[in-house]
Structure 1
Amino acid sequence: MENIYIRELKYYSRKNILEILQNNEKALEKLLKFDIVKFTNEGYQFAYVGVIIIENIIVNVYPKYIPSKDNIKWDFKQVIQVIKKYNKSKDEFNYQNDELEDISYNRLSMMLFFLEDYFENGIYTNIQSILETNGNGEIDWNRTVNDKVAIIQDNKPYYVELQTKYKINDLFNYFRLLHEYIITECSQYLEKARLLELFDLTPVELSDKELDDFGDVDLILEKLEKELNVEFNTHKIKLLQSMHSYLSNKNAHTNENYLTLYGTSAYHEIWEVICAHVFGDKLHKKLRDLNLPVRLNSKYSPNKELIKLIKKPKWIYKDIYPKEAEGTFIPDIVTIYNNEFVILDAKYYSLKFSQDKLDGQPGLESITKQYLYELAFKDFIETHQFSGVKNAFLFPTYDGEIENKGHVKLDILSNLRLEDIQVIMLPAGEINQMYLDNKKIDISRLDLWRKNGKVKAKSE
């Protein structure tokens, strides 16, 4: 299979994008329909990060912050590992999406599930309990006492026959063998597609069987459904359901217009999660667990989460019957550093900001909201005597240093003595690795808010 690397949101002419898709018009139509590819007056662009498989071609769409393909295999592998960890944290196990017809977001995810689950939990097992009389296994005293006659001597019961039990793993169980076949097929497909290394997996050869050895697909599905009706183990149920789904859709990928995808159309959400983890977001911490400059004031409930301090809008009908709205504005990250209240917002923008140029910046709404976050916490900040507030946007960059580019201000809000918003460029590769390694930035060493300065990233 041919592997192609494409930058997210890069513009292509119709001719060029069809060349990438091997002139598959129907594939392009489907990608446009589901916003994987978008069209504007400037051309076509992949609004996606991840892997797209179309017949014998694999399109690897890498994030827009990566400027070139110099180290693209390593960079893209890291991105895929980030997506995998993010998906796992969301426990995304639903492989079905009826609205997507024969475009499948699920097949590659399903194959990865089978392999990763195998490496973690092994093969589907069917443990049988065997009962014997006077066997070598553990004595089943309940059955022995209830089923056998004892000889009484000196007022003590003696049993000539003992009921014993032991357990065996049925290596020739139908579903175990089916599981081995599916894992082997998935491994072979991913190896042929040269995707095993990308997903940090090794080849698995467990079976030399063909699908026909298990009967026709309808028979296999019927057996799986019957087994599901009598199985109560949660993990085994998940495996049986996955095998059923995999075989139900097995023939779909042979369709010449079939697409399978692994990735996201919303990488900005992943960037937010990465930054929240690395910078130690405290929004969902209870107030009693925060390291405040002074003791928590009694007017605040210690069991209340920090995020709950942000008020929701109230709709008041004719000065009575106030109705509280469901939503409100929520910052990405709030943390505490050196008795300062720190508000950070992860911005997945391709910002170009220098003395001579400004391009790709967030709009007015993002700026005003960042000021309003400080206002939302104003009473809490003043009551607990924080020494100051720091406000910042966090942008991904490919550069190897954390850089404070300056700040953005809006006079009508800045004049209210609100903190202006620092513009911080983060080396995404390093920040990604901290996320993957469950590390956090030592904020005390970073000096993120030093204007127009550079400081090398450190992790703890």
Structure 2
Amino acid sequence: MTEVKPSLFQELKRYSLNEIRDRLGCTPENVKAYINTLRKYGIVKIVKKDSLDFADLTNDDLVIADSAEEVSGASYKFDFVGIVAVKDKVVFCYPKYTTYSDKEKILEELKLAIKAIRKYDSKGELVHLHNRDDNGEYNKLALSLHILQDYFENGVYTNIQEIIETNGDGEIDWDRTINETFAYIKDNRPYYLELKTRSSQNDDFDYFKRLHECIVTQCSKYLKELTILDFFDMPEVLLSELDLKDFGDTDYILYRLEREIANQYITRKQNLLKTLYTFVATSGTSSQENSYSLYGTNCMNLVWEKACGQIFGNEYEALKKHIPKPLWELDGETDNKADTLIPDIVTRHTYSDGSELFYILDGKYYLPRITNNKISGNPGVQDVVKQFVYHKAFLDYIFSQYHCTVFNAFLFPMLSDLYETENIKLRGHVTMMDWGVETLVPLYLLFLRPSFVWNAYIKGKSCKDELNKVRSEVQFQDVFSGILDTSQTLQRKSKENVDNQLTMVGYLKQPYFDFIADALLKPESFLFYFYRTKDGFKYPIHPDLKHCQKFIGYTDDGRIIRGDISKNISVMDAEKLKVELGKVGFSGSAHSAEDYIVVEICNYKIDDSISVSELKESINAYKGNDATNAHSPKVIDVINYFF
């Protein structure tokens, strides 16, 4: 086999029959045979000519046919990332996010993607040594890579040869010495002039060592002919000039391998011998030149999800205990042992002041884009709903943290020729009618440079700092419009069907609560304040705060204070707030945010009759509290009970 020139195709891009023929450099008759082989193994799919590109394709767009000859005017897409050797052709399928026109840049992106696939496939979940068809044909490309990778990691197969010598340098074999040599007796003690010694060394002429060297050399030559050794950073290996026939016919080689497998007790060596057995058993078969082999995957979404989870420190295993399980009830019997929700990525970041940022992330191998003022290529509504449900599922945990802020986001691959100076870019968000925008923070759309993700994944590097930096530097708009007007003062306005009995519930740090509760220093009123903007992040607040006239505050140790809201809600920067608090004698709080929303509370008193658990029930019952966090107060409507 002479060196093959590979043909380049982009994942999920539509190609005509003539385009494929020209890229493969084959005749019109042969191109259909190639396509039929690739379709048989799910590499190529036939789609309607006028259907959309990339991820917009649905089952209705797929053309069902037994062969390419039956399809007229259809298009073909390669649902695969990796390398395919089909008959005498080699196909390189590069990822759908690669938009470079330069061939060298395309190959670099493919090389990096293959390295990521290779790491993901360390457990053999994607790339299989057999093609898994009815004939049991083996995947020569994957098998050759497997044999070479094992050789680079573990070296050549070795067997130990035991050497028995007379007066050698090895360990004395006393059994042989006593039984096979003469002893001289003096004073009833035996003396041996000749000692039998035992040593061991690698047998350089071992049959299986030489067979392994021969097969490794053949695998290296095969991959060089396919021009893919460089993709796996493997040097050419030339260990032997022998051919398989020099070791006997196929049946004899397989017989020797079977015997060696039976006598070998080291698991790694057993697995290698079995791989060599597969190589020998299928080498030289008549169907080999007409078959196909591959290395890659049509499940690139799994690799993307895994990589995103690793680089951002997925903590699902530690946090899954906080996700409630469904409670089933049937004929009086209940069961809550069923599986619960499994978010893709949940992770946390703790700030210096003890506050926590809670990430809910989902790696999505989609390419959203704007075409004719319409967004396409985006995930379906079920994916959006699922992310909001994940947020809802963690509400109890978020409430228990007091200082917890939620950041919910999709993670998309960035087109390779966009934003070349940025690794992570926020480009938008998703909300869902009342249920989304009224109660949950938006689902943000983050785009990640694939080369940034793959390199970090391959090297085992954490990228959480980069994620935090992007989140903190972006000036988010208020989730709820109209909360603050241009004068930055929240005026209390009338609202239909509101009886002015809504209550604001907020968290108070212990030193500030103690200051307020001290009878000697008790001022006539106090300022309740909460984050408006910190590290560039503008915190969402409940839209019904403007209708609240009562206030309940709570502390970490469960103490409660309640009173009336006497003035409008206003905005103060950290320095002004410090001055205002100093006027009443309080200076014990660090102000780490840029600015705060401030509310004046009067007619207040300590109330031990209310428990935090009661507050929690009321908070969970009131629509819209999902959107707030520990830095923003909640709203409840049960003040007749509390007041």
TM-score, length-normalised on structure 1?
Answer: 0.85
Pair 1:433 & 2:455 matched? yes
- In the alignment of these two chains, the number of paired residues is 431
Q: Give the one of 282, 299, 310 matched to 2:323.
A: 310
Q: Give the one of 309, 317, 335 matched to 1:322.
A: 335
- Within 5 Å, give how 1:196-275 maps onto structure 2: 196-252=229-285, 255-275=288-308
Q: Which has the higher contact order (CA 8 A, sep 6+)?
A: 1
- Secondary structure of residue in 1 paired with 2:162: strand
1:98, distance to aligned residue in structure 2 (A) = 3.7
- Within 5 Å, give how 1:312-391 maps onto structure 2: 312-322=325-335, 324-325=337-338, 327-338=339-350, 339-352=356-369, 356-391=373-408
Distance in 2, Cα, partners of 1:64 & 1:89: 25
Distance 1:347 1:449, change over 3 A: farther
1:335, distance to aligned residue in structure 2 (A) = 0.7
1:407, distance to aligned residue in structure 2 (A) = 0.8
Distance in 2, Cα, partners of 1:45 & 1:188: 31
Q: Give the one of 93, 98, 118 matched to 1:84.
A: 118
- Encode CA deviations 1:254-307: one digit per residue, 9 max, x unaligned: 5453111110010000001110111111112xxxxxxxxxxxxxxxxxxxx322
Conservation of the 8 A alpha-carbon contact between 2:127 and 2:297: no
Distance in 2, Cα, partners of 1:374 & 1:235: 45
Counterpart in the other structure of 1:446: 469
Conservation of the 8 A alpha-carbon contact between 2:9 and 2:94: yes
Distance in 1, Cα, partners of 2:370 & 2:473: 16
1:125, distance to aligned residue in structure 2 (A) = 0.6
Pair 1:115 & 2:148 matched? yes
Give the residue type in structure 2 aligned to 1:414.
G
Distance in 1, Cα, partners of 2:298 & 2:400: 42
Pair 1:132 & 2:165 matched? yes
Distance in 2, Cα, partners of 1:312 & 1:149: 81
- Secondary structure of residue in 2 paired with 1:419: coil
Conservation of the 8 A alpha-carbon contact between 1:27 and 1:257: no
Counterpart in the other structure of 1:287: none
- Secondary structure of residue in 1 paired with 2:229: coil
Distance 1:188 1:452, change over 3 A: farther
1:141, distance to aligned residue in structure 2 (A) = 5.2
Pair 1:7 & 2:19 matched? no
Distance in 1, Cα, partners of 2:347 & 2:257: 49
Distance in 2, Cα, partners of 1:57 & 1:32: 15
Counterpart in the other structure of 1:37: 44
Conservation of the 8 A alpha-carbon contact between 1:406 and 1:451: no
Conservation of the 8 A alpha-carbon contact between 2:411 and 2:448: yes
Conservation of the 8 A alpha-carbon contact between 1:343 and 1:391: yes
**Which one is further off, 136-145 or 391-400?**
136-145
- Secondary structure of residue in 1 paired with 2:6: strand
1:418, distance to aligned residue in structure 2 (A) = 2.0
Give the residue type in structure 2 aligned to 1:265.
N
Distance in 1, Cα, partners of 2:187 & 2:413: 84
Distance 1:100 1:448, change over 3 A: farther
Give the residue type in structure 2 aligned to 1:88.
S
Over the matched positions of the two proteins, sequence identity in percent amounts to: 38
Conservation of the 8 A alpha-carbon contact between 2:322 and 2:396: no
1:372, distance to aligned residue in structure 2 (A) = 0.8
- Encode CA deviations 1:392-446: one digit per residue, 9 max, x unaligned: 1000012322211121011343256322111001111122111122211124752
Conservation of the 8 A alpha-carbon contact between 1:48 and 1:263: yes
- Secondary structure of residue in 2 paired with 1:172: coil
C-alpha RMSD over aligned residues = 2.8
**Which one is further off, 22-31 or 33-42?**
22-31
1:344, distance to aligned residue in structure 2 (A) = 0.6
Structure 2's unaligned 5+ residue stretches are 50-74, 351-355, 477-643
Counterpart in the other structure of 1:74: 108
Distance in 1, Cα, partners of 2:126 & 2:15: 32
Distance in 2, Cα, partners of 1:87 & 1:253: 30
Give the residue type in structure 1 aligned to 2:280.
L
Structure 1's unaligned 5+ residue stretches are 285-304, 454-460
Distance in 2, Cα, partners of 1:313 & 1:143: 72
**Which one is further off, 7-16 or 269-278?**
7-16
Distance in 2, Cα, partners of 1:354 & 1:333: 30
Counterpart in the other structure of 1:189: 222
Distance 1:444 1:405, change over 3 A: closer
- Secondary structure of residue in 1 paired with 2:448: strand
Distance in 2, Cα, partners of 1:144 & 1:173: 28
- Secondary structure of residue in 1 paired with 2:308: helix
Q: Give the one of 410, 413, 419 matched to 1:396.
A: 413
- Encode CA deviations 1:60-101: one digit per residue, 9 max, x unaligned: 101111113321121111111111111125577852354363
Distance in 1, Cα, partners of 2:397 & 2:182: 76
1:313, distance to aligned residue in structure 2 (A) = 3.6
- Encode CA deviations 1:105-131: one digit per residue, 9 max, x unaligned: x21111112222222221111111223
Counterpart in the other structure of 1:169: 202
1:2, distance to aligned residue in structure 2 (A) = 1.9
Distance 1:256 1:209, change over 3 A: closer
Distance in 1, Cα, partners of 2:467 & 2:369: 27
Counterpart in the other structure of 2:533: none
**Which one is further off, 371-380 or 359-368?**
371-380
- Secondary structure of residue in 1 paired with 2:200: strand
Distance in 1, Cα, partners of 2:137 & 2:47: 23
Distance in 2, Cα, partners of 1:253 & 1:367: 52
Give the residue type in structure 2 aligned to 1:447.
V
Distance 1:140 1:103, change over 3 A: closer
1:243, distance to aligned residue in structure 2 (A) = 0.5
- Secondary structure of residue in 2 paired with 1:251: coil
* Structure with max Cα Rg: 2
Conservation of the 8 A alpha-carbon contact between 1:405 and 1:451: no
